[in-house]
Amino acid sequence: MCGISGIIGVESEQARPALEAMVAAIEHRGPDDSGVVVEDDVALGQRRLSIIDLSSAGHQPMVSEDGNQVLVFNGEIYNYRELKQQLSSYSFRTNTDTEVILAAYERWGKDCVQYFNGMFAFALWDKAKNEILIIRDRLGIKPLYYYQQNGILIFASEVRALLASGYVPRKLNIAALSDYLRYQTVHAPDTMVAGIKMLLPGHGLLIRGGIPEVFRYWSASENYSREAEGKSYEEIKRDVHELLLHSVERRLVADVPFGAFLSGGIDSSAVVGLMSRVATQKVKTFAVTFEEEEFSEAKYAAAIAKKFNTEHTEIRLTPSDFLETIPAALKAMDHPSGDGPNTFVVSKVTKEAGITMALSGLGGDELFGGYDVFKRLHMLQQYQWVAALPLLARRFVGHSLNRLKPSVASAKISQLLGLASWEMSHTYPLTRQLFPDTILRHLLNKQELLPNKVQELLAQDEQQSRKEQILPVLSQVSVAEFSTYMQNTLLRDTDQMSMAHALEVRVPFLDYKLVEYVLGVPDKYKYPYTPKKLLTDSLGDLLPLNIINRPKMGFILPWQQWLKGEMYLFAEEKLKKLGSRGLLDAQVLEDLWNKFNAGDPMISWSRIWYLIVLENWLEDNRIES
């Protein structure tokens, strides 16, 4: 796990100081080692967090035996040992997974990525071919940003490194503002900075003769497996259990102390239970708990820790403890997001306990239907006849409901009834949208907003899937979650907040082989009649029923109270500054703030917090609007 950076197309004399500034900007990602290679018009840099082969042999940039290839790599290749045996003709000098990438490239060229099981972003310079290959993993677990202008291409693991180069103007991407206001994030390939792009998951960038070409090598909607077709439920359960067990086992390969985040929910409990079956040492688990019963999952985490005999660490936080960490969490935010501080806190205390790598249950909800949206959108497919009713009649019913019982849920139903189409590309985008477009038009002071980015992304998937066999409905929702919320919020936040503490987080539920298989499972076997039924059934008696059937909590904090209390002055100041920029209507911002403080059910804390985060990020990064 590391941070990488590079500059292509700039003479070495000018590139070196810029590259060194980029590497320094991501020192937190890799405190164990650093290195740069600057030759001709290619400059590559890396910060190393040592996980596999802790010796100096793992130093990067790593050069191939013949000197023709130079590699910088962020992430882990979990099947590197199997690949090393397959590539036995290569003269290996280290025990790292980094060198396996060099050997695989020598054998298979850019197709080497098809053989990797892991999370990764890497850049490989082939001197003999005068080519540079930049690759990002299939699910987008590891980030890769780049900027291209006037024959120069700059890339890095974080936006802040690109800004540190001095080549990237600190200019706001105005077109991305609508996306952020709708979804508390900006969807790749766009970012909040003008000109900076994010390489999409399952994509690569090949630079030949100074000309970059983006290509795709994997897609969830196209590469799902049909192996489950015709199988019985018992057979499918056995397959899922085996795939998940092997996924956990692969992610225990490390030469450093490791552990697991344990909330006591289904996903983290499943990971810990499977770890206890395959780990060669006692599993260390970490749970953040609170004195306030309504926010604490302590009893569930403790029960799982006892069941699997883990070395359990319970970190009890008070609201004041958490409030003290918020400035540092905001400082660690490489790209603005409405989420993240929770992961910052968990990662901080885990790292302080001496852990360098931790497993997480992230991805379980998205893969196995853990959110209410799976049931809702599946139901809509059964009631398509409603969409055939006159649009005016549906809108009248929606408006009436919203007037009788104003709430966020009523507003969503009203918007749904007002849609011209109930295809997934129209219905799903409403589920994650914070403010309806009617409010955003006032906030942005525009009659027409830019097209909905989530709708565009899903429409592209729908168009592609029509050429192939259409995915089951629940799998369509999973793909929507993968390509929007999970990729652009959960995974990005997990990376930036964990790596702020030089902690590597691994996610067994996002093993691509497991993902491909589960996406191909028919809805009749995957529908969550009980919470994540296919997952829990596949685990057999691994988890007790009180864990499976417990209320879903997540990491809940009293943000509503904080913004009206201890954080009131901070929040108000940030909103006023945001209003003074001329990007948003200052009066509408003030009205939203006043409605929130008055207890308006339509204005929850999340609809205020991400606006505060935006202003704070703009200030910290000196972004001009």
Which residues are catalytically annotated? 2
Query: Is residue 35 within 8 Å of residue 19, measured between CB atoms?
Result: no
CA distance 490 to 185: 10
Q: Name residue 261's beta-bridge partners.
A: 286
- Per-residue burial over 471-492, b if 16 or more Cβ lie within 10 Å, else e, is bbbbbbbbbbbbbbbbbbbbbb
For 447, residues 6+ apart whose C-beta sits below 8 A from its C-beta are 441
Query: Is residue 149 within 8 Å of residue 212, measured between CB atoms?
Result: no
CA distance 422 to 439: 22
For CA atoms 585, 586, 591, 597, give the dihedral sign.
positive
Can the peptide bond before residue 61 be classed as cis, meaning omega within 30 degrees of 0?
Answer: yes
- Checking 302-307 for CB contacts under 8 A at 24+ apart, the result is 302/264, 303/264, 303/544, 303/546, 303/547, 304/262, 304/264, 304/268, 304/269, 304/272, 304/273, 304/543, 304/547, 305/262, 305/272, 307/273, 307/544
The owner of tokens 């503002």 is: 177
Question: How many other CB atoms are found less than 10 A from the CB of residue 511?
Answer: 26
Structure tokens of 100? 């396996």
**What's 319-384 look like in SS3?**
HHHHHHHHHHHHHHCCCCCCCCHHHHHHHHHHHHCCCCEEECCCCHHHHHCCCHHHHHHHHHHHCH
Q: What single string gives the DSSP state of each residue in 28-41? A: GG-BSEEEEEEETT
Query: Is residue 479 within 8 Å of residue 220, measured between CB atoms?
Result: yes
